[in-house]
C-alpha cells in the first residue's frame, strides 16, 4: 500500500507512542523526559479507557429497564454523561501523544519535517502552553470550589455530586500540560534535526 493512501487514522501511528525508541542523538535529558512523559500518558490512557466499561453497563441497564420493564432510571443519563466527560478529559493527553487530536494538516503534511517541527514548536510554545496553563489555573479554581462546597448537579432530579467531574477536568488539563512538554521537545528535535524522533 502506498504511504500516501494511508488513512488519517493510521497516520497518527507513524508518530507518537511510548514504546517507540528515541534516537541516540537526542539530548539525554530530553530523551528521559520524553520517554517518561510518554509512558505516563500511555498508562493514563490505558487506565482511563476502562471507564468505557461502566458507561456501557449503565447504558445497557437503562435500555433494558426502559424498554422491557417500563422502569426508566433517574441516574443512568447523569452517570454516563459524567463518566464520558471524565474519560474525555483524562484521555486527552494520551490522544495528544498519539497524534489523534484534530488538526487541519492539508498544508502541514506537505511541509518538510524540519518545517513541521518549527510550526509545531511555535504553536506549542505560543498558543498551546499559554492556553493550557490558563485552563489549568481556571480548572483548579473551579475544582477546588466544587470540592469545598460539595457541589451537586442542579440540573438533575437526584442531584449527584459533581466535584469528581470537575477535578478530572483540572487533572486532564494538567496531563495535557505535561504531555505538551514532551511534544515541545519532539518538535525541537524535528526543527533542529529535520526528522521526528519517533
Contact 163, 147 (CB under 8 A): yes
pLDDT in tens, 53-81: 999 999 999 999 999 999 989 899 899 99
Rounded to an integer, what distance in angstroms lies between the CA atom of residue 189 and that of residue 116?
A: 11
Q: Please provide the average confidence, as pLDDT, over all residues in the chain.
A: 90
**Phi, psi at 84, each rounded to 5°:** -65, -45
Q: Tell me the pLDDT band of 14, cut-offs 50, 70 and 90.
A: low
Of the chain, the percentage scoring pLDDT greater than 70 comes to 92
Q: What φ, ψ does residue 38 adopt, rounded to 5°?
A: -65, -40
Looking at per-residue pLDDT, the higher value among 189 and 6 belongs to 189
User: What's the pLDDT at 5?
Assistant: 47
Confidence class of residue 1 from pLDDT cuts 50, 70 and 90? very low
Q: Which helix (H) or strand (E) holds 37?
A: helix 28-48
Closest by alpha carbon to 86, among 37, 143, 150? 143
pLDDT for residue 168 is more than 70: yes
Contact, 17 vs 38, CB < 8 A? yes
Amino acid at each position: 500500500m502506498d504511504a500516501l493512501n494511508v488513512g488519517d487514522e493510521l497516520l497518527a501511528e507513524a508518530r507518537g507512542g511510548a514504546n517507540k525508541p528515541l534516537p541516540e542523538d537526542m539530548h539525554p535529558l530530553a530523551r528521559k523526559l520524553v520517554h517518561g512523559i510518554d509512558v505516563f500518558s500511555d498508562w493514563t490512557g490505558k487506565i482511563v479507557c476502562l471507564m468505557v466499561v461502566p458507561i456501557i453497563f449503565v447504558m445497557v441497564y437503562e435500555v433494558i429497564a426502559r424498554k422491557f420493564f417500563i422502569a426508566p432510571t433517574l441516574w443512568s443519563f447523569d452517570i454516563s454523561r459524567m463518566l464520558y466527560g471524565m474519560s474525555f478529559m483524562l484521555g486527552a493527553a494520551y490522544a495528544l501523544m498519539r497524534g489523534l487530536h484534530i488538526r487541519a494538516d492539508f498544508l502541514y503534511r506537505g511541509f518538510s519535517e524540519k518545517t513541521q517541527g518549527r510550526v509545531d514548536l511555535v504553536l506549542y510554545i505560543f498558543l498551546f502552553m499559554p492556553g493550557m496553563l490558563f485552563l489549568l489555573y481556571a480548572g483548579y479554581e473551579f475544582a477546588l470550589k466544587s470540592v469545598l462546597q460539595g457541589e451537586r448537579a442542579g440540573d438533575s432530579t437526584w442531584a449527584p455530586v459533581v466535584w469528581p467531574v470537575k477535578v478530572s477536568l483540572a487533572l486532564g488539563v494538567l496531563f495535557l500540560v505535561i504531555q505538551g512538554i514532551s511534544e515541545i521537545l519532539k518538535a525541537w528535535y524535528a526543527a533542529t534535526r529535520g526528522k521526528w524522533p519517533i
